[in-house]
Amino acid sequence: MPINSPWIINTDTLEQQLATNNVIVVDMGSKDSYSLQHIPGARFIDYNTIVKNQTPIMGMLPDNAQLSKALSNVSIRPDDYVVAYDNEGSGRASRLLWTLEIAGHEKLSLLDGGIDHWLQQNKAVSHTIPEYSVSHYVTKLDNMHGVATTDYILSQLSNAQVKILDVRSAGEFNGVDIRANRAGHIPGAVNIDWLRLKDPGTQKLLEQNSLMRLLEKNGITPDKEIIVHCHSHHRSALAYVALKNLGYAAVKGYPGSWSEWATRTDTPIES
């Protein structure tokens, strides 16, 4: 497998990889759904082990000890090729991949459409829990080019070369659906609900040309730096992966996202 693996792979490609044992598949869905059925050989990681929540701020980066333990427990090593999926729209799986990239992990992909599309394609599933030994993956969350902090965003609000993509629902964006201390959106942000990035039937990302047209129509163009966020950088992690797959060179995810922006008192809000 090349060092720079594709951000997105389809079900047929993963099926071929499984046959060569050249991949570690990670299921980021629920424990119950994993126990019922999963892609053969897939290893389960609980989403809560790869994020840090300090209510009311959700979805912060974990510390190195927490992330190292989560990866080591399923025997992942720095040189492994990791393919992630989930059963709830690819947000959790994408968040794992974004976090791995921040940790400097190079070989990673998202299964387009997750297990939903896998099942639609009548691919094999299993309920057998694979056996593996614990590894000793020591992570270093210092590859911060893909991270936007609140202070960084504040410093870029007047920069026309930086665009903020808010993938929450229209209700959240407009301040009608209130999920934090304050409601509304970051000044100048563009709203594209993350559901619009996907085909509702297959849960796959839109075809690349269609997705690019949607983004560019809203000013999210490859010549700009794009900061993606939602409420906790869960939904927006999929937007991050989608943009990277399209070749956008400068993309940052905002851990904590709206839950942090709305909690702080020095952050401006529009509604």
**pTM given for the model:** 0.96
The neighbour count for residue 20, using CB atoms within 10 Å, is 8
* For helices 91-102 and 235-246, angle between their N-to-C axes, nearest 10 degrees: 70
* Topology (CATH level 3) of domain 8-120: Oxidized Rhodanese; domain 1 (3.40.250)
Active-site option among 39, 83, 230, 238: 230
Query: Under a CB-based contact definition with an 8 Å cutoff, are residues 8 and 198 in contact?
Result: no
Is the separation of the CB atoms in 90 and 114 below 8 Å?
yes
Q: Where are the domains of the chain?
A: 8-120, 145-261
CB atoms within 10 A of CB 19: 9
Instruction: List, as own/partner pairs, every contact residues 11-16 make where C-beta atoms lie below 8 angstroms and the sequence separation is at least 24, other chains included.
Output: 11/111, 11/112, 11/113, 11/117, 11/118, 11/121, 11/123, 12/121, 14/39, 14/83, 14/111, 14/118, 15/123
Which residues fall within 8 angstroms of residue 168, CB to CB, at 6 or more apart? 185, 191, 193, 194, 230, 231, 235, 258
Residue 144: the pLDDT is: 87
> Collapsing DSSP states into helix, strand and coil, what is residue 258?
helix
What's the pLDDT score for residue 229?
A: 98
Cα–Cα distance measured from residue 120 to residue 267, given in angstroms and rounded to the nearest whole number: 44
Q: Are 208 and 246 in contact (CB under 8 A)?
A: yes
What are the pLDDT tens digits along the chain (271 aa)?
333 579 999 999 999 999 988 899 999 999 999 999 999 999 999 999 999 999 999 999 999 999 999 999 999 999 999 999 999 999 999 999 999 999 999 999 999 999 999 999 999 999 999 999 999 999 999 888 999 999 999 999 999 999 999 999 999 999 999 998 899 999 999 999 999 999 999 999 999 999 999 999 999 999 999 999 999 999 999 999 999 999 999 999 999 999 999 999 999 999 8
Q: Is 230 a catalytic residue?
A: yes
For residue 85, the 8-state DSSP code is E
Determine contact, residues 83/14, Cβ cutoff 8 Å. yes
Cα–Cα distance, 199 to 197 (Å, whole number): 7
Q: Do domains 8-120 and 145-261 have the same CATH topology?
A: yes
Helix (H) or strand (E) holding 150: helix 150-156
**Of 236, 227, 233, the residue nearest 51 (C-alpha):** 233
CATH of 145-261, one of 2.40.50.140, 3.40.250.10, 3.30.460.80, 1.20.58.100: 3.40.250.10
